[in-house]
Amino acid sequence: MIEWLQTLADGTSPALQWLVIMFAGAIPFVESYFGSVLGVLAGVSVPLAIAAAVVGNWLSMFLLVAFGDKINARRKPKEPTRRQERFRAMFNKYGVAGVSLLGQTILPSQVTSLAMVALGTPRQAVVFWQTISIILWGTAFGLLAAGGVNLMQG
């Protein structure tokens, strides 16, 4: 499968490779971490794969944070679900930084960001910490994938 992916990537321009990885990074649960892995496995340069996945993930998160108040305003208030109560407890315990950095192990950054905005967290704080988290996760997974590819080839 990796060879097929690399052959497919070899036949496309770097701009198209960038766009594909960027769109992959924008998908919840794929995000910067799996988007960068996909790019590295496809044979795209490691910095390009990481950057494209990070940009895609960041753009989708930023748009949800920017328009989250409008999305949340359309929803009718109702009794919080068990999942929402757990998220609020995690948020109260770890704060914006902790939820941003650790939350990606449980929920996509887009969902986490929207939930924090719904709790009344300042958008600037959400964007700041999510940016750090997206960059860290994308870089870590991209570098791990590059190391794995090097081990398989060497």
Higher pLDDT, 17 or 1: 17
Residue 92: what pLDDT? Answer: 94
DSSP state of 76: P
Could you give the dihedral angle defined by the CA atoms of residues 28, 34, 39 and 43, in that order, rounded to the nearest 10 degrees? -160
Q: Enter the tokens of residue 51.
A: 């950057």
How many Cα atoms occupy the beta-carbon half-sphere of 43 within 13 Å? 15
Segment 91-119, tens digit of pLDDT: 999 999 999 999 888 889 999 999 899 88
Question: Tens digit of pLDDT for each residue in 13-64?
Answer: 888 888 999 999 999 999 999 999 999 999 899 999 999 999 999 999 999 9
